[in-house]
Amino acid sequence: MSPTPSTTQRALLGLLSIRPWTAYDLTRQMRRALRWAWPRSEANLYNEVKRLVPHGLATAVEEETGGRSRTRYEVTDRGREEVSAWLESQPPAPPQVELEALLRLFLADQGTVDQLRRTIAETRRQMLERVEEGVVIAEDYLHDPPFPDRAHLNVLFMHFSAGFVRLMLTWCDDVEAEIDTWPGTATGVGLTPGTRAMLEETLAYYLATLDQHARARGAT
Amino acid sequence: MSPTPSTTQRALLGLLSIRPWTAYDLTRQMRRALRWAWPRSEANLYNEVKRLVPHGLATAVEEETGGRSRTRYEVTDRGREEVSAWLESQPPAPPQVELEALLRLFLADQGTVDQLRRTIAETRRQMLERVEEGVVIAEDYLHDPPFPDRAHLNVLFMHFSAGFVRLMLTWCDDVEAEIDTWPGTATGVGLTPGTRAMLEETLAYYLATLDQHARARGAT
DNA sequence: TCGCACATGTAAATCGTTACATGATTAT
DNA sequence: ATAATCATGTAACGATTTACATGTGCGA
């Protein structure tokens, strides 16, 4: 009757375990923070919280605030158990990246260098938007942290997002520098000096990593 | 009648623009390479290629190879146009990361340090698997590239995936080092020296980035 | 007072996954 | 000869998104 909740539902349950929220605040929190780990559309979130209730994982209270009514959700004991069981369960799903810009790069020989350049420029713009949001949040946390007793977790969380932004921005730089040396996207380019160097560096890093972890395992 | 194709369909069309493939080869290619940019289940891919045909974007030929028949797909002119139009169209969807491990970290105060440690260990293991695949592909490309005239694109593509793996592995290291200093996930931890340093470094990087791009824009 | 952003959803349509099915090929 | 794996899907189900709907407060 109650199949195991989806990861989206578990994320909402997790938020509710921190404290009660209204539906709208939940979507805000998902947009502000959890977008980095589990991005979902807002309409979907309204839907999924509501579905926690009939499963006995959360309770809903209607509040009359002036005109329109809103719903405040609270986690139940069964809800908390569900979160615990999930954290205990092995293993987490593998990381997945959805990156249309990278897809376009892969197929760039079907188009022009200029199209590719615009794709990269747009990607950089998107990342700079995230940086602007990040500055606000980071300053918040240095002066007046919203959840002081969760600061250690939130900072490790932000540490990932900062790393991701950095990755994307340097990748954009690398791609731009490289395509500037191309006569076109398709015609007789092949392995350039730049891409050959990248390839060798990548392989060296991979081999070093495997080696290091093989030795770490052996030393245990 | 033909609503604009989904990105998954465009990815398949893009592959078909390189050359004709059988359904199975398409799924292989998606698994081997495009997983990094647009991960989809194999069953779905079989479905989506098939749906290209009634829209006039691809043609299908049944081939009898021994016993069972297989389908070979080819792109049509309309299919190529569709890919061009897509590459021309602004803007690409923003990058999205789905990372259950990061979600678990965010909610780690609902569980134990040991659970978190296991999550990180599993994530590292998943990434090392990717490294092993990557070694094979990179060596291929150095000795006997499968698509020599596409090498420049494929290497820039791999450059991203290598960067992502590196990001994940160093993040795992950082998290492990930090949580080793915690007495627990929740009880009176707050902003530790380690996380404070991270936070300051993140903020500094963000500000430097914004500054740099503001000046770059000003200098144009 | 007009429009726009905030706040809060619903309904329909689509997208995508999991589970199943089945013949062929290879390894043991 | 058997089991495992490759190759190729189908069907059912569930998750997600898009588009719409509507009230409320605020700034120009």
Q: Choose one of A89, A113, A134: the last residue of a domain.
A: A89
Contact A80 B110 (CB under 8 A): yes
Query: What is the predicted pLDDT for the residue at A47?
Result: 94
CA–CA separation, B93 vs A101, rounded Å? 8
- The answer to whether residue B154 sits within a structural domain is yes
Q: How far A217 CA lies from chain B's nearest CA (Å)?
A: 12
Nearest to A205 among B15, B162, B186 (CB): B162
| pLDDT(B150) > 70 | yes
Query: What is the predicted pLDDT for the residue at B1?
Result: 43
Residues of chain B in contact with residue A90, where contact means CB-CB under 8 angstroms, are 118, 122
CA–CA separation, A200 vs A83, rounded Å? 44
What's the N-to-C CA distance of chain A in angstroms?
Answer: 45
Cβ-Cβ contacts under 8 Å for A143 (sequence gap 6 or more) = none
Query: Which nucleotides of strand D lie within 7 A of protein CB?
Result: 7-11, 14-20, 23-25
Determine whether B39 is exposed, middle or buried from the number of CB atoms within 10 Å of its CB (0-12, 13-18, 19+).
Answer: middle
- The answer to whether residue A152 sits within a structural domain is yes
Half-sphere exposure of B140 (CA within 13 A, CB side): 15
Q: Are residues A106 and A183 in the same domain?
A: yes
Determine whether A218 is exposed, middle or buried from the number of CB atoms within 10 Å of its CB (0-12, 13-18, 19+).
Answer: exposed
Contact B115 A88 (CB under 8 A): yes
Query: What is the predicted pLDDT for the residue at A90?
Result: 79
**What percent of chain A lies above the pLDDT cut of 90?**
84
Q: CB of B39 within 8 A of CB of A96?
A: yes
Q: Choose one of B49, B64, B89: the last residue of a domain.
A: B89
Q: Are residues A47 and A110 in the same domain?
A: no
Please give the angle made by the CA atoms of A54, A21 and A67, to the nearest 5 degrees.
Answer: 95
- The answer to whether residue B95 sits within a structural domain is no
| pLDDT(B188) > 80 | no
Query: What is the predicted pLDDT for the residue at A15?
Result: 96
Identify the three-state secondary structure at position B59: strand
Domain of residue B159 covers: 100-187
The DSSP secondary-structure symbol of B186 reads: S
Q: What number is the average pLDDT over the span B110-134?
A: 95
The DSSP secondary-structure symbol of A4 reads: P
DSSP codes joined into one string, B80-101: HHHHHHHHHSSPPPPPEEE-HH
Contact A156 B150 (CB under 8 A): no
Q: What number is the average pLDDT over the span B202-214?
A: 96
Q: Are residues B135 and B209 in the same domain?
A: no
Q: Are residues B23 and B70 in the same domain?
A: yes
- The answer to whether residue B178 sits within a structural domain is yes
H helical segments located in chain A: 7-18, 23-32, 42-52, 77-88, 100-106, 113-143, 151-179, 193-219
Q: What number is the average pLDDT over the span A193-214?
A: 96
Q: Are residues A39 and A112 in the same domain?
A: no
Cα A52 to its chain centre, rounded Å, is 23
- The answer to whether residue A137 sits within a structural domain is yes
- Output Rg (C-alpha) for chain A, integer angstroms: 23
Q: What number is the average pLDDT over the span B183-209?
A: 92
Contact B151 A191 (CB under 8 A): yes
Q: Choose one of B37, B63, B89: the last residue of a domain.
A: B89
More confident residue, B107 or B217: B107
CA–CA separation, A201 vs B138, rounded Å? 10
Q: Are residues A170 and A216 in the same domain?
A: no
Closest residue by Cα to residue B163 from A135, A173, A122, A37: A173
CA–CA separation, B196 vs B14, rounded Å? 46
Half-sphere exposure of A126 (CA within 13 A, CB side): 19
Q: What number is the average pLDDT over the span A17-29?
A: 94
Cβ-Cβ contacts under 8 Å for B56 (sequence gap 6 or more) = B2, B76, B78, B79
Q: Are residues A34 and A63 in the same domain?
A: yes
pLDDT digits (tens, 9 = 90+) for A143-153: 988 899 999 99
Lowest mean pLDDT among A76-80, B2-6, B114-118: B2-6
- The answer to whether residue A94 sits within a structural domain is no
Q: Are residues A198 and A219 in the same domain?
A: yes
Query: What is the predicted pLDDT for the residue at B66?
Result: 61
Q: Are residues A125 and A149 in the same domain?
A: yes
Cα B163 to its chain centre, rounded Å, is 11
Q: Are residues A84 and A56 in the same domain?
A: yes
Q: What is the pTM of this model?
A: 0.94
Residue A67 pLDDT level (bands cut at 50, 70, 90)? low
Residues of chain A in contact with residue B198, where contact means CB-CB under 8 angstroms, are 155-156, 158-159
- The answer to whether residue A95 sits within a structural domain is no
| pLDDT(B67) > 80 | no
Q: Are residues B71 and B104 in the same domain?
A: no
- The answer to whether residue A65 sits within a structural domain is yes
| pLDDT(B69) > 90 | no
Question: Which residues does residue B124 pair with via DSSP β-bridges, in sequence order?
Answer: none
> Can you give the CATH number for the domain in which A58 is found?
1.10.10.10
CA–CA separation, A220 vs B23, rounded Å? 45
Selected residue of A112, A122, A156, A171 to mutate for chain B interface (largest B Cβ count, 10 A): A156
Query: What is the predicted pLDDT for the residue at A220?
Result: 67
Query: What is the predicted pLDDT for the residue at B76?
Result: 96
| pLDDT(A66) > 70 | no
Q: Are residues A76 and A108 in the same domain?
A: no
More confident residue, B168 or A69: B168
Query: What is the predicted pLDDT for the residue at A1?
Result: 44
Q: Tell me how many domains chain A contains.
A: 3
Give the CA-to-C1' distance from A79 to C26 in angstroms: 49
Q: What number is the average pLDDT over the span B168-172?
A: 98
Lowest mean pLDDT among A178-187, B80-89, B126-135, B150-159: A178-187
